[in-house]
Amino acid sequence: MLSTRVGKVLSAAGLPIDGEVVKGVYMGKGTWGGNGEVMESVCPSTGEVLAKVATATAAETSEAVKRAREAYKTFRKVTGPKRGEIIRQVRNAIAEHKSALGALVSLEMGKIISEGEGEIQEYIDICDYAIGLSRSAAGRVLKSERPGHQILEVANPLGVVGIITAFNFPVAVCGWNFALCLAVGNATVWKPSPTTPLCAIAVTRIVADVLEKNGIDGAVASLVCGGLEAGEALVNDKAVDLVSFTGSERVGQIIGTKVQSRFGKILLELGGNNCAIVAPSANLDLALRTLVFAAAGTAGQRCTTTRRLILHRSIADKFLPRLVKAYENLQTRVGDPLKSHTLIGPLHTRGAKDTFFKALEQVKREGGEILVGGESYAPSSGDLKQGHYVLPAIVKPASPESPIFQEETFAPMLSVAIYDDLDQAIGWNNGVRQGLSSTLFTTDMREMGKWISEEGSDCGLVNVNVATSGAEIGAAFGGNKSTGWGRESGGDAWKQYVRWSSCTINFTDDAPLAQGVNFE
């Protein structure tokens, strides 16, 4: 029997509360199914089974791709402005359900309610961006060296895009991909994380309704919930032109190799051992407020969470005790993510909790120390006793060369190091495999200029006096090195979802050759 708390959220999102198995496969034209393994969606706050979901077999995944390909052949001929109008309707439909969907994200993923609603707002925002893009996505006209010739660079739809998303942003990351794909004329097949299928089902139902009301085959936005079987079928299918994957480096490397082996396109958003540097001239009040959210928010489960903090020696003794105190104050704000008072919700799974404690043990084993937090937390409410709650930790590893400092721990653990020279701090920032997000707190313009230059951070996101997390949709999002080199969301990210052609046109009766070649 579901608790009243859970029942209200599921009902508001249009999901059953009577134990009915939810169908997790959508192939357009009102077709919902799922003949694969029945998986459970488990609430990280309480340990309750929210619902059982029928997932996709390999054959169903292949069929979903096939139907998406057929739908694409028609959808690609829909004009850009018409596609933009459909995106506008999707945007409005999602906005109408913002509160319900935000609560569902909070319930199924575990992030606090304001972040859950913020994630839905991010989906809305990228739709706003894509509406304009549908009219403005353009190629170029280039001058030819040959008289009477013009050169065009033309962007056409790519085809079918497979979107594989992670648990920590169960809605927004699909939105980044889906909205841009729709704007340029592609079809998509979404495979969400096996642990957050309900968010995907609820969103897909809304999107499918909009598409079908506009006479568009809903297979343009197909859905295959499932695990390894569905994922492998999607990745290996030659009819999937691009695979966008968000997740671990290990899995990303496997997927990237498989897709590239069949000459498909790949977009990877992988790990991030993100770093914040606090310089002597920094506004320490600003740095403190920013870092508490960046390091402890979402219980440390954002790709862009600050995992390493590098403090200048001259301010370390002043700043670090204040940060420790702020973490101590956070301990009274751990609990039910659906409550507005809560700032720290649960970790997503029991495995994530185990990873957190193993990392803390490694800190001590390597000769480091735990400055604050690092304990399990038992909420006073009986409903929450089976949740995966911990107290966010600040640790001081034995040295910046320690393995624990070099490796990403996907949990609320912030590692601290002390630097003497900015070049030293930049070297530590750049000295890890990943290159996702970084920030420098300073009021010194010379340091600021160096930080964003060729001598500075090698990350995809290079911030100044801003958190490593919480990126807006207007700029392209993504990282370098083993983070995967992918770019999603705004900026020029849309250019990855199209097929580019260079077209030379001769509008004369002459046939001159380039480079002055004479073949007469």
**DSSP H/E element including 22:** strand 22-23
Cα 205 from Cα 22, distance rounded (Å):
12
SS3 106: helix
Total Cβ atoms within 10 A of residue 86: 23
**Could you please report the per-residue DSSP string of 204-272?**
HHHHHHHHHHTT--GGGEEEE--SHHHHHHHHH-TT--EEEEES-HHHHHHHHHHHHHTT-EEEEE---
**DSSP H/E element including 310:** strand 306-312
SS3 501: strand
Q: Closest Cα partner for 255 from 284, 288, 276, 233?
A: 233
CA–CA distances in Å: residue 499 to residues 72, 139, 158, 162: 14, 11, 5, 16
Q: What's the DSSP call for residue 50?
A: E
Cα 437 from Cα 468, distance rounded (Å):
5
The residues annotated with a catalytic role in the active site are 269, 303
User: Which residues are CB-contacts of 371 (< 8 A; sequence separation ≥ 6)?
Assistant: 320, 324, 393, 394, 395, 396, 416
Amino acid at 437: S
